[in-house]
Structure 1
Amino acid sequence: MAVLLLPVSLIAEEFWASTPSEISAALQQVQPGDTITMTNGIWTNAEILFKANGAAGDSILLRAETPGRVLLNGSSRLRIAGSYLIVSGLYFKGGSRPSGSVIEFRENSGNLANHSRLTNTVIVDYNPSNINTDYKWVSLYGVNNRVDHCYFRNKTHSGTTLVVWLSNTPNYHRIDHNYFAFRPELGFNGGETIRIGTSDWSMYDSYTTVEYNYFEECNGETEIISNKSGHNTFRYNTFYNCDGILTLRHGNFAEVYGNFFFGANNTGAGGVRIIGEDHKVYNNYFQDLYGSGYHSPLVFMNGVPNSPLNRYFQVKRALVMFNTFVNCRNTILVGAGKDSELSLPPLDCMIANNVIYTTNSGQIIDYEDTPVNMQYEGNVMFGSPLGIDANPGITAVDPQLVFAADSLWRPENTSPLIDAAVGNYPDVTNDVDGQPRDAAKDIGADEFSAEPILIRPVSGENTGADWYPLSISVKQVAPGANALSDAVQLSLPGDILELLPGEFPNDGNIAVSVALTIRAADSTDRP
């Protein structure tokens, strides 16, 4: 008798957990493709280790029952270790850590996360009482990990918001579509919003991509983003009213393109600061940046001879091209920081096909130190004194920019920028909008084109967690000890709490940190 053996079809399972120990128990059973669902509620002092191995195309998911309704506070933290793991929908609010990280892509130094993802998650007000207490909100280890569509707000203490930690092999991480908001000035170093690497690892490559993120009032310190490793890409991000600057602090071969910097006339708002070798800054749009010194719209630092890893390497072969600067003060600062230690001026750099239009700057270019073999070609700079001797690579002509319907200054159809770029720059195939460049390229970030706009500035509307803030939720609260305080902690802005008849004893005062409506469910029988 012939026997036909059929493959067993594996059906993904869902495991429910209401405590960290139940998560641990579920992890003993999960297979690739399975889901662990955390029940709605308040998880206080929760030590969660999400340690498992999924498979390519078949990740294991740890998620909130309802995005935003699993609230972690106290000293809660999450560690992710293994491969092909996804975490989604968690809400860290109002807690604090003594050290380390709130969310960490590793169990320990010997067990990292790879090919894993943190998404649709929020960390808000997760601060200690002492601002000198240093811990990170997210620490990325391993390789090929992603942090996306998350919201990070009001980090007030020491420690970078999100850090990429390096090893001797590239990371290839992706940080995208996140909303970084309202980081107040710290007053000392350690207030970066993103840092990739450290000075010790700065000569190693990371190949991390930071794209489509929105930075609003990220004022922790001078360096909003601190690049401290090689071959990283910063593209399609939007910076709004940030008191700081994207800083290529250590490492080489960074690319900064397609970003939007809106300074809102903030005297601390800057653009890009260049340190090190072989960086490219192109197709960026800078508007209303009033910063100066290290916060200028474009800064070339001076370097230290035989610099140690933690100081300043000489700027060499930087290429700044096809950028647009509008209404920016102190637009280009060259040789910043010159003193007896920082004595090496920028070397062999090119500034090409940029447009600068400003009527309120003392001078457009300021040489704090004289660069060596800095070349200019195809630039249009107009509206304020140039600040350096006349140069054949700089033309003072009205660029004829108009304020377009999308609130960007763009060349009108008679602009002298059109088809006027000089030199051969084959890497620049598109413009800041993602539109293709013509064979005869335009000067500045914007190519005059009737093609569809593919890339626009991002905002809080299209970045961050899709549930924060949630639409108004009406929730009935049954009487009981601490029932009201628990419901308040789990609430989001705009929620309505309806109290059922009965008594609501509480241990101490109830702290309300978001706008809520608390009312009786039955107006004729009030609790």
Structure 2
Amino acid sequence: MIRKLSICILLSLLFLQKISAKVYRIGSEQEFKAVQSLLIPGDEVVIKNGNYTDWSININNKGTLVKPIIIQAEKQGMVIFSGNVTKPIFSVSGEYVFIKGINFKDCVLTKTGVLIELATSNNCSISNCSFSANQAKSQFTPLVIISGNGSNNVVEGCGFISNVDNQDVQVKITKDTYPKLTLIENNIFRDKNKVSWPNGNGGECVQVGQDPVLLGNQKPETTVRKNRFIHCNGENEVISNKSSGNKYLNNYFEDNDGELVMRGGHDCIIADNTFKGGTGGIRINGTGHQLINNKIDGIQTAIRLMYGMAKGKDEIGFYISASDCTIKNNTISNATTGILIGDSKDADWTGKFDTKRYPSPVMQNVAPFNNTIEANSFKNVKVEEVKK
């Protein structure tokens, strides 16, 4: 009897909570700001179909696991933001706030312009949004940023198509702050042309960390999985890992002019990814990475283990030699070189980086060492392994 009464009370509370939640239909920035302070767990903000420009919304409201606060398009893809962007359109610093179904198209971003930032947010998500033909006017400008000391934020089911001179998704790591346990999942990145910047940098699809030399030991534990990267030619690094403890799982790469790059950091897992065609596979600097069960087909050099200026997790080097990595059960086919052990030997970086900011040797002369390479499969590969 007591158990039945408890269940009835619980169901009644849930019903009352459900009917207390509200749906706010808005059609302007002013209308959004007018209802924002009223938002409680379970509420929804529905943005009416239409074209919008020049918004800047800061969302610090808190939903719950059972009753998130949802901000969504009236109809997926029919709410379109465009025009000049000088500050974040949506900046989320709350909890359990979900942004869904919004289209960002033909936006022009300045250095301070961002389409969506999850800033010190927890358990927030961006899902089923479209980011297409947006252009950055300042180098290293991302469309989406996950920043601050939040955790468990998600970017899922979004499309990043034909964006220009930008980074698509950035996990921002500073000396004092970085988000933990970010998930970037089931997105498509496609048709990204080479950036116009003179040094060719700043066109990554996904960047996890920005300073691999001084901050590469930070452990955001980001997971990038089940994404598709097709015709992504923005720069040499389709994905740029510059921190530690991250996972890159079950992603698909096709005809990209670039690689999945462990530019810095340590102890990352790169597993079950598929590469078909294009110019690059996987490039490794750093210590303790695991490359397992990847399938790489039709790429000239499938896996590269790089020389560095220093070694290990404690020495400072502009590049860290690949060491103590495991390369196991990978399938490599139709390549000139399967696994290259020792690329960029004796590369001279004199004058190419600030040695005061980065107190590193300038010669890339520390060879890869103590790596385990076993049980890999090679088919139609001219050279299976090269040791220098």
TM-score, normalisation: structure 2: 0.84
Q: 1:353 aligns with which of 375, 378, 381?
A: 375
Q: Report deviation, 1:209.
A: 0.6
Q: Match of 1:20, as an amino acid?
A: E
SS at match of 1:25: helix
Residues 16-38 of structure 1: CA distance to partner in whole angstroms, max 9, x if unpaired? Answer: 11011111111111110110000
Q: In structure 2, do the counterparts of structure 1 residues 31 and 310 end up closer, same or farther at CA, with 3 Å as the change threshold? A: farther
1:80-479 alignment runs, 5 A limit: 80-100=92-112, 101-106=114-119, 112-128=120-136, 130=137, 132-141=138-147, 142-157=150-165, 159-166=166-173, 167=176, 171-186=180-195, 188-199=200-211, 200-263=214-277, 266=278, 269-290=279-300, 296-305=301-310, 311-339=318-346, 341-358=363-380, 361=382, 363-367=383-387, 369=388
SS at match of 1:297: strand
Q: Report deviation, 1:55.
A: 1.4
Task: For 2:276 and 2:230, locate their aligned partners in 1 and report how far apart those are by CA, in whole Å.
Answer: 10
Residues 205-242 of structure 1: CA distance to partner in whole angstroms, max 9, x if unpaired? Answer: 01111000000011111111111111100001000101
Measured on the aligned residues, the alpha-carbon RMSD in Å equals 2.0
Q: Percent identity?
A: 27
Q: Report deviation, 1:201.
A: 2.2
Task: For 1:47 and 1:308, locate their aligned partners in 2 and report how far apart those are by CA, in whole Å.
Answer: 43
CA contact (8 A) 2:309 2:317 kept: no
Q: Report deviation, 1:281.
A: 0.2
Deviates most, 134-143 or 218-227 = 134-143
SS at match of 2:34: helix
Residues 1-55 of structure 1: CA distance to partner in whole angstroms, max 9, x if unpaired? Answer: xxxx996922221011101111111111111011000011111222233331111
Q: Match of 1:122, as an amino acid?
A: S
Task: For 2:366 and 2:139, locate their aligned partners in 1 and report how far apart those are by CA, in whole Å.
Answer: 36
Unaligned runs of 5+ in 1: 107-111, 291-295, 370-527
Residues 465-521 of structure 1: CA distance to partner in whole angstroms, max 9, x if unpaired? Answer: xxxxxxxxxxxxxxxxxxxxxxxxxxxxxxxxxxxxxxxxxxxxxxxxxxxxxxxxx
Q: In structure 2, do the counterparts of structure 1 residues 258 and 133 end up closer, same or farther at CA, with 3 Å as the change threshold? A: closer
Q: How many residues align?
A: 345
Structure 2 match to 1:14: 23
Q: 1:58 aligns with which of 41, 46, 67?
A: 67
Task: For 1:365 and 1:169, locate their aligned partners in 2 and report how far apart those are by CA, in whole Å.
Answer: 38
Q: Match of 2:223, as an amino acid?
A: T
Task: For 2:57 and 2:265, locate their aligned partners in 1 and report how far apart those are by CA, in whole Å.
Answer: 35
Q: Match of 1:23, as an amino acid?
A: F
Q: Match of 2:384, as an amino acid?
A: I
Q: In structure 2, do the counterparts of structure 1 residues 16 and 103 end up closer, same or farther at CA, with 3 Å as the change threshold? A: same
CA contact (8 A) 1:84 1:114 kept: yes
CA contact (8 A) 1:170 1:204 kept: no
Residues 428-474 of structure 1: CA distance to partner in whole angstroms, max 9, x if unpaired? Answer: xxxxxxxxxxxxxxxxxxxxxxxxxxxxxxxxxxxxxxxxxxxxxxx
Task: For 2:237 and 2:131, locate their aligned partners in 1 and report how far apart those are by CA, in whole Å.
Answer: 21
Task: For 1:13 and 1:238, locate their aligned partners in 2 and report how far apart those are by CA, in whole Å.
Answer: 40
SS at match of 2:107: coil
Residues 334-362 of structure 1: CA distance to partner in whole angstroms, max 9, x if unpaired? Answer: 11111161111111111100011115x3x
Q: 2:46 aligns with which of 34, 37, 57?
A: 37
Unaligned runs of 5+ in 2: 1-8, 349-362
SS at match of 1:24: helix
Deviates most, 44-53 or 273-282 = 44-53
Structure 1 match to 2:90: 78
SS at match of 1:82: coil
Q: Match of 2:118, as an amino acid?
A: F
Q: Match of 1:103, as an amino acid?
A: I
Q: Report deviation, 1:133.
A: 4.7
Deviates most, 274-283 or 68-77 = 68-77
CA contact (8 A) 1:186 1:220 kept: yes
Q: Report deviation, 1:170.
A: 5.8
Q: In structure 2, do the counterparts of structure 1 residues 73 and 58 end up closer, same or farther at CA, with 3 Å as the change threshold? A: same
Task: For 1:260 and 1:235, locate their aligned partners in 2 and report how far apart those are by CA, in whole Å.
Answer: 10
Deviates most, 69-78 or 170-179 = 69-78
Q: Match of 2:304, as an amino acid?
A: V
Q: Match of 2:299, as an amino acid?
A: L
Q: In structure 2, do the counterparts of structure 1 residues 308 and 72 end up closer, same or farther at CA, with 3 Å as the change threshold? A: farther
CA contact (8 A) 1:46 1:75 kept: no
Q: Report deviation, 1:248.
A: 0.7
Q: Report deviation, 1:366.
A: 2.6
CA contact (8 A) 1:168 1:204 kept: no
Q: In structure 2, do the counterparts of structure 1 residues 155 and 309 end up closer, same or farther at CA, with 3 Å as the change threshold? A: farther
1:478-493 alignment runs, 5 A limit: none
